[in-house]
Structures are given as C-alpha cells and as structure tokens.
Amino acid sequence: MLKGRHLIEPDDLSVEEIDEICSLAEQMIVDPVAFQDVCRGKILATLFFEPSTRTRLSFEAAMLHLGGSVEGFADAQSSSASKGETLADTIRVVSSYVDIIAMRTPKEGASLLASEYSDCPVINAGDGGHFHPTQTLTDLVTIRQLRGGFEGHTIGFCGDLKFGRTVHSLVQAMCRYKDSKFIFISPPELTIPEYIMENVLIPAGVPYETATRLEDVIDQVDILYMTRVQKERFFNEQDYIRLKDSYILDKNKMKLARKDMIVLHPLPRVNEIAPEVDEDPRAAYFKQVKYGMYARMALISKITGCL
C-alpha cells in the first residue's frame, strides 16, 4: 500500500510498486478523462525552494487533471524561509493545511528532514545533487512505453554525472532490473560519484564502464540519457565555463547510433542537444515530459489513497 507514504528516494518504492505506478500511468495515458475527478477535494502543496519549470508545473498539472487543488510557492523568497523560519516549522505549518507536499530544495537531505516533521506525505521533487525520484518514475514510464520494459538495456549517461540527481536516481532504479548495463560518459571532473559506485553499482553487481568521448560508445547504447552541465552546482564559474560545452549531441553523432536507440533528457537543456536532433524520431525528451505528468498523476492518486 502506498497510501500515506513518503517518497524521498527511488528505493522507497519496491519493484512491484514501481510496476503498479507505471501500469496506472499507462491507463491514464490511454483514458485521462476516466481519472479527472479521483482526487477531488484533495490539496497538493508545491514547496519549491529552488527554481523549476517542468517539475513544478508537472506536479500542479497532475493534481489539477485529477480534480484536486494546488497551493504553494515557486521561490524561497516568497516564503517565510526568507524571514529565517526553519524548514521544520514550515513543514509543520503547511502539512496542517494540505493532503500531500511536493518539495524541491537545493540542500541534500532536506526532503528526508521534512518528512520527519510532516503530518502528510512528502514527495521529494529534487534535493540538491542527491535524488529526484519522480523524474525517475517519468524516465521509467517513458522507457516502458518506448522500449517495452525495463530489462536488458544498455544505458549511456552523458554529461554532468557528478551533480546530476536524475542520473543518480535512475541508476539506482535500473540496477534492480535484470541485465542492465551502464556506460558513464563524462569529463573526469564530472564522473559518477564514488558513493553511487560503492553503495549502488557494486553491491548490485551491475556491469558498467566509463568513457570520455560520446562518439566512442554511442553505437553500444539502447537508451542515451543526456544531461546539462548545471551552473548552479558549481562554486567556481571558470570551471563551469570550461566544462559546459563538453558534450553536444548533433546529427553527426546520431548517425553513429542504433536505429532503435532513444534519447532522453530531464530538461531543461542548454546546448547539449542541438535543435536539429529534435526532428529525429529517436528524440524522446518531449514525450518524456508528457509521460512525467501521468507518472505524477499515478503517484499522487496512490499516495493520497484516491486509487
């Protein structure tokens, strides 16, 4: 049962629960009208202490499509945090008004802390460079829709793998499926963190390799997961400027890829995917955005106990 549960990281959901959410999301994709009133009377709070477009609007659209209501803020300066209120007090107050909270913060572990003070379920909508479990559900729904299932895929992760919470979350989730393999493509400064290798990859016995050139490995992957180099995660702007154009996916690189490969991206993109790639049928990142709303609809309806 998912009713009343917090979702802080991908491992909070079992494989069976992920399948349940994905199956419900697929039903919603086919017949959204059938679900338009299931959360009527429920209220979602979106507490976004960090800028966001897709994730916040996706949560809000999901709840509205389910017939519920939304309140919250999109900027920490719009909240009492700007006056010095503690996160614990903010959560105590907000959770007394609403049925479920979606929260984004630049601080790792803040969503877990919030869950300890909340009277209602908390969904982690991204905590710094840590985890982003609903983006993972988005990715999984997309993979199941476009690749038919989760087993037997070679996934290439390209770009900022050090700070990319979407990468960390999807790696953690896909390690649980049979015959997964990962190729991590990045400059040395942005490679996958040691704790992901030591705590996730090695214990799961999942094969992986690293590369510094996308051209050398793109023909080996079934799913290419592109990421932007995130300026907001750097303390030194010179390091950001030096690394931001490290990997750009364009038509020439796509010519090297498999005909049935799909390209995913959590968005927003800057210039790591050339606009010319958008017309390629393998470019799935805008489909991914829409599937994300249905993934969050399914999750919200389960956690609130509406379905």
Could you tell me the pTM of the whole model? 0.91
Which pLDDT score, from 0 to 100, does residue 229 have?
A: 72
Which pLDDT score, from 0 to 100, does residue 61 have?
A: 98
CATH 3.40.50.1370 domain extents, the chain: 10-131+292-303, 133-289
Q: Where are the alpha helices (DSSP H) in the chain?
A: 15-30, 54-65, 87-94, 110-117, 133-147, 165-174, 194-196, 202-204, 237-243, 251-254, 285-303
Which pLDDT score, from 0 to 100, does residue 270 have?
A: 85
CATH for 133-289 (3.20.20.80, 3.40.50.150, 3.40.50.1370, 3.20.20.70): 3.40.50.1370
pLDDT band with cut points at 50, 70 and 90 for residue 128? confident
Which pLDDT score, from 0 to 100, does residue 130 have?
A: 79
What is the spatial distance between Cα 257 and Cα 272, in angstroms, rounded to a whole number? 16
Q: Can 55 be counted among the known catalytic residues?
A: yes
Which pLDDT score, from 0 to 100, does residue 235 have?
A: 54
Mean pLDDT of 292-296: 98
Residue 39 confidence (pLDDT) above 90: yes
Residue 302 confidence (pLDDT) above 90: yes
Task: Indicate which residue of 5, 54, 147, 242 is catalytic.
Answer: 54
Residue 56 near residue 101, CB atoms below 8 Å? no
Q: Can 213 be counted among the known catalytic residues?
A: no
When the pLDDT of each residue in the chain is averaged and rounded to a whole number, the result is 91
Superfamily assignment of 10-131+292-303 in CATH? Answer: Aspartate/ornithine carbamoyltransferase (3.40.50.1370)
- Phi then psi dihedrals of residue 105, to 5 deg: -150, 150
Which pLDDT score, from 0 to 100, does residue 188 have?
A: 81
Task: Indicate which residue of 6, 65, 130, 132 is catalytic.
Answer: 132
Task: Indicate which residue of 6, 42, 55, 162 is catalytic.
Answer: 55
What is the spatial distance between Cα 281 and Cα 259, in angstroms, rounded to a whole number? 9
Q: Which of 171, 176, 169 is nearest to 15 (CA)?
A: 176
% of the chain residues with pLDDT over 70: 91
Rg (CA), the chain: 19
Convert 117-167 into a string of H (helix), E (strand) and C (coil). HCCCCEEEEEECCCCCHHHHHHHHHHHHHHHCCCCCCEEEEECCCCCCHHH
Task: Indicate which residue of 42, 56, 104, 144 is catalytic.
Answer: 104
What's the DSSP call for residue 193? Answer: P
Which pLDDT score, from 0 to 100, does residue 304 have?
A: 98
Q: Which of 207, 222, 202 is nearest to 149 (CA)?
A: 222
Q: Can 132 be counted among the known catalytic residues?
A: yes
Residue 241 confidence (pLDDT) above 80: no
Residue 164 near residue 129, CB atoms below 8 Å? yes
The crossing angle, in degrees rounded to 10, of helices 54-65 and 285-303 is 50
Residue 60 near residue 87, CB atoms below 8 Å? no
Residue 82 confidence (pLDDT) above 60: no
Q: Can 104 be counted among the known catalytic residues?
A: yes
% of the chain residues with pLDDT over 90: 75
Task: Indicate which residue of 83, 178, 213, 255 is catalytic.
Answer: 83
Q: Can 244 be counted among the known catalytic residues?
A: no
Give the number of C-alpha atoms closer than 13 A to the C-alpha of residue 51, restricted to the C-beta side: 6
pLDDT band with cut points at 50, 70 and 90 for residue 79? low
CA 287 to chain centre: 14
